[in-house]
Amino acid sequence: MNGNPSTNNPSVSPGEVPGAIHKDPDVVIFGFWVFMMSDLIFFGVVFAIYITMIGATAGGPGPRELFDFGSLFAQTMLLLTSSLTVGIATVTMKHQRSQASFLFWVVVTLILGLGFLALELYDFSEMAAKGGVPQRSGYLSAFFGLVPLHGLHVSFGCLWMLVLIAQIWKVGMLDIIKLRFLRLALFWHFLDLIWIGIFSVVYFGGWVYG
């Protein structure tokens, strides 16, 4: 490894980071990948539980009665578009464009994420009005163990964006903040992949096999 670890992997490095804070940005990024892989394993377990519970409705409402695919399509478009905008923000940061331009794309991503959460919460309320609550059946317990878990991650990502926006507003685009945003972008793309799995397995798969 050369004397400047931040140049070892230009595809992920946000620039030289002060040694007192992070001596090796590559190590930080690698550690975050390890965290996401552990999170992926956890999601995999919850996915497996859901799959075993498809059809275990105990006479209660199932996917065909509960799911609104119009709303789900809108949620999917919001989240996938937010993946695009966070990517644009990353490119803007790497090419050292204006701070205002970078913040614009971060704020757009935040708005899209909040829109996703608002629609998801509305769907949950509609499901509850139809009797689709966690305690009604094993199927619904598994559903509410998985889908809101993803929503909780999205909520954390939105909070993370708010904190970064406040930090940038106060101290500017320091290298350490760039590194934090790079981890946030990885986390956000990860959540998009999890949502594709949820839409395919939970919603579409549940509607087909439920």
Walk along the chain (210 residues) and give the pLDDT tens digit of each residue: 444 444 444 444 444 444 444 457 778 888 888 989 999 999 999 999 999 998 888 888 888 889 999 999 999 999 999 999 999 999 998 887 688 999 999 999 999 999 999 999 999 999 999 999 999 999 999 999 999 999 999 999 999 999 999 999 898 888 888 999 999 999 999 999 999 999 999 998 877 665
Distance CA 31, CA 145 (A): 27
Are the C-beta atoms of 13 and 7 separated by less than 8 Å?
yes
Contacts of 70 (CB under 8 A, 6+ apart): none
**Of 4, 29, 28, 27, residue with least CA distance to 16:** 4
- Tokens 């994420």, located at residue: 113
Query: What's the CA gap between 17 and 123, in Å, rounded?
Result: 43
Please give the model's pTM, rounded to 2 decimal places. Answer: 0.83
- Residue 56 and residue 116: Cα distance in Å, rounded? 28
Q: Write the CA distances from 67 to 100, 143, 149, 184, 202, integer angstroms.
A: 40, 12, 18, 30, 10
pLDDT digits (tens, 9 = 90+) for 181-202: 999 999 999 999 999 999 999 9
Residue found by looking up tokens 């757009």 in the block: 108
Return the closest-CA partner of residue 86 out of 9, 10, 192. 192
Taking the CB of residue 90, how many other CB atoms lie within 10 A of it?
Answer: 23
Q: Where are the alpha helices (DSSP H) in 54-199?
A: 63-66, 69-94, 99-129, 138-171, 175-197
Nearest CA-CA partner of 153 in 186, 106, 125: 186
170 CB-contact burial (10 Å; exposed 0-12 / middle 13-18 / buried 19+): exposed
